[in-house]
Amino acid sequence: MEKRRKTEADDGEITLPEPIIQHIQSFLTGKEAAQTTILSKSWYSAWLTRPNLEFDQRDYWIRGFLHRYVFHESAKKTMKRYQELNLKIESFKLFMIDDFSVCNELIVNAIKMGAVDLCFETILSPFVLPHEVLESKTIQRLSVTGCRIDAKVAWSSLESLILCRVCIEGDIIWDIISNCPLIEKLVLSECKFLVKPSPYSFNSSSRMLALNHSLINLYEFRKLKCLFLEKVKISSLFFSNFSIRFPCMKDLTVCHCFGYKEIQIYSPSLECITFAHKRILRAKFDVPSIRKFKFSGSNVPSLSFEGASREWKSEISITWTRFSSSWFLKLNKLLGDLRRSKISLSLMIGCMSLESSRLPEDAGLPKAIVEKLIMVAAPASVCSALLDGLFWCFHPKCIYQLWMPKSSTKDNELLEFLCKTLIQEGSENCCIPNQNRLALHDLEGVSVEIVDESIPMFLPLPWKMLLDASASPDNSRIVRFTLQWGVDSSRLIQY
C-alpha cells in the first residue's frame, strides 16, 4: 500500500500517488471512473479501492433491455470485496429503476462501511428509506429523490439535506428540523405529506408540503446557510424576522412557490437571492451583503433594495407574449430599482401581440445601464416597436444574439433587424452607428463579434455577413454587439 502512495517509475510509467488518482476519479461518474482502469495498473488498483462508490442501473440498460442480473451481481461483488478487505466508504451514490430489495441491501451495507455522504435516486414508486439510514448518527450529507420517509430521524451529524419528490408521513418534517442542529444546507423540492401534519397547514388538492411561520422556531436552523424551496406553499409571515430565524443564511432560493403575496426580508448575512415566480412578485430587501440577485418569471417584478453598499449583480429573465407602454414603464422602474447593481437582462419573447406602445418623451431623464442584454425569438412584425421601447428604457452595453444555421434563417430576423437598426450603410469592415432613431442619438460606436468555439473567445465579425443568408453558420453561434454611448453619457445612471 505504501509503495502505491509514492511517486515511482515502473517500466517507463510515472505512477501518481493512489490518493491523487482516487481524487481525480471522484470527479467522474461511476462509468467514467471505470473507464480509467485501462490507463495503467495503478489506475486500476486505485479504482478497486476508491472511497467513492457509485452504482447506476441506467448503465446496464442496453438496446432497450435492462440487464438486472448483471447489475446486481456486479454491485454485490464490489460490496463483498470492500467488506472482505475491510475498506471504508466516504460517499455512496445509487440510482435504481426497480428491485428495491437489492437497493435496500446496498444502502444498508454502505452505511455499515462508514458512508457519510449518501445520494439515492429512483424514478418509480417511492422507495422507503431503511431505518439504518433514518437512525444514522454519522451521516453528514444526504440527498434522496423519489423516496418515502415513514419514521422519525436521528441525524445529529447532518450538515446537508436534499429532499426531492419525497413523501413524508405525519409531522416527521418537524422531527427533521428539530433533530438536525448542525444543518447548513436544506433543499425541499416537490415534497408531499401523506397525512395532515398538526403544526402546519397544507393544500389538500395538491398535497404539497406547506410551510408557515410556525414551522421555524427562533432556536432552529442557527447554522443554516443555504435554503432551497421549490413548489412549496409558504406564507408571507415565513419571511418575517428573517435575520433572527436564519442568522447565518447566505443563499436563498424560492422557485415557483405559492401562498405569499408580498415579501419583506432583512438579513445582514444574505449574499445570493433567487426567485422564480409566475405571478407578479412584490418584494422589499434590506440586504447589505448582497452579491447576486436572480429573478425569472412571466411578469415584471416590483422590487426594492436597501442597504446594498457594495458592488453586486442582478440577473433578470422575463418571458412574455404581450407588451404595451405600461409594460415598458414597469421595466423602466425595475431597472431603476436595480441601478446600483450590474444588470443582465434576458427577454424570452414568444408569439407576441402588439398593443399600444406609445411612450412618453425622454425629457432628459437618466437611463439605466444594462451590462448584458439577451433577446430570443422576436417576430419581425414587432421588432421596431420592441427596440424603441427597450432603448427608451435603458442603454445596453452588449447585446447577445444567436446566429442560426442556414436551415433556420427565419429565426435570424431579430439579428438582421438589430444589424440594420444599429449600423448605417458603410464600409464592410467599419461599423458606423445609426443615430437616425431618436433613442439612438447617444450611440457613438458599434462593434460586432462572434464566439470562436475552439478558443473560446469573441473575434471580430464583418457585420454584412449577418445580412447574407448564404453565410449562415452550420451550427448556431453567439453574436455580440458592443455599443459605446457618449455625448449624454453623463445622464446615465452609474454604479
The residues with which 445 forms a beta bridge, in sequence order, are 484
Q: Which amino acid is at 164?
A: C
Q: What is the tally of helices (H) and strands (E) in the chain? A: 11, 33
Q: CA-CA-CA-CA torsion for 80, 84, 88, 92, nearest 10 degrees?
A: 0
**CA distances, 55 to each of 139, 309, 478, 481 (Å):** 19, 48, 38, 47
Please report the pLDDT score of residue 434 as a whole number: 76
DSSP string spanning 134-147?
Answer: HT-SS--EEEEESE
* Range with the poorest average pLDDT among 147-156, 254-263, 381-390, 475-484: 381-390
432-433 vs 443-452, strand pairing mode: unpaired
Q: Provide the angle, in degrees to the nearest 10, between the axes of the packed helices 41-48 and 18-25.
A: 70
Rounded distance between C-alpha atoms, residue 471 and residue 316, angstroms: 33
Question: What would the pLDDT profile of 189-225 be if each residue is shown by its tens digit?
Answer: 888 765 443 444 333 334 556 665 444 444 467 788 9
Mean pLDDT computed over 19-42:
78
Query: Contact at 8 Å (CB) between 108 and 134?
Result: no
61-62 vs 65-66, strand pairing mode: antiparallel
Mean pLDDT computed over 253-270:
89
**CA distances, 83 to each of 54, 78, 108, 131 (Å):** 16, 9, 13, 21
Question: What would the pLDDT profile of 76-104 be if each residue is shown by its tens digit?
Answer: 888 998 888 898 899 999 998 877 788 88
Rounded distance between C-alpha atoms, residue 174 and residue 196, angstroms: 13
Rounded distance between C-alpha atoms, residue 233 and residue 328, angstroms: 31
Please report the pLDDT score of residue 170 as a whole number: 66
Phi-psi region of 235 (alpha: psi -120 to 50; beta: other; left: phi over 0): beta
Please report the pLDDT score of residue 212 as a whole number: 53
Please report the pLDDT score of residue 2 as a whole number: 44
Q: Provide the angle, in degrees to the nearest 10, between the axes of the packed helices 383-393 and 413-422.
A: 60
Q: Specify the 3-state DSSP secondary structure of 308.
A: coil
34 by Cβ neighbours in 10 Å (0-12 / 13-18 / 19+) ranks as: middle
Cis geometry, peptide bond prior to residue 456 (ω within 30 degrees of 0): yes
Query: Contact at 8 Å (CB) between 225 and 184?
Result: yes
The residues with which 276 forms a beta bridge, in sequence order, are 255, 296
DSSP string spanning 122-188?
Answer: ESSSPEEPPHHHHT-SS--EEEEESEEE-S----TT--EEEEES-EE-TTHHHHHHHT-TT--EEEE
Q: Provide the angle, in degrees to the nearest 10, between the axes of the packed helices 325-337 and 383-393.
A: 30
Q: Which three cell numbers stand for residue 168?
A: 413524508
Q: Which amino acid is at 37?
A: T
Quick one: what percent of the chain has pLDDT higher than 70? 81
Quick one: what percent of the chain has pLDDT higher than 90? 28
Please report the pLDDT score of residue 469 as a whole number: 77
Higher pLDDT, 9 or 33: 33
Please report the pLDDT score of residue 372 as a whole number: 96
Question: What would the pLDDT profile of 283-323 be if each residue is shown by its tens digit?
Answer: 999 999 999 999 999 889 999 998 776 789 999 999 876 77
Rounded distance between C-alpha atoms, residue 268 and residue 270, angstroms: 6
pLDDT band, very low/low/confident/very high, at 417 (cuts 50, 70, 90):
confident
Please report the pLDDT score of residue 341 as a whole number: 93
Question: What would the pLDDT profile of 115-154 be if each residue is shown by its tens digit?
Answer: 999 999 988 667 888 999 998 989 999 999 988 888 888 8
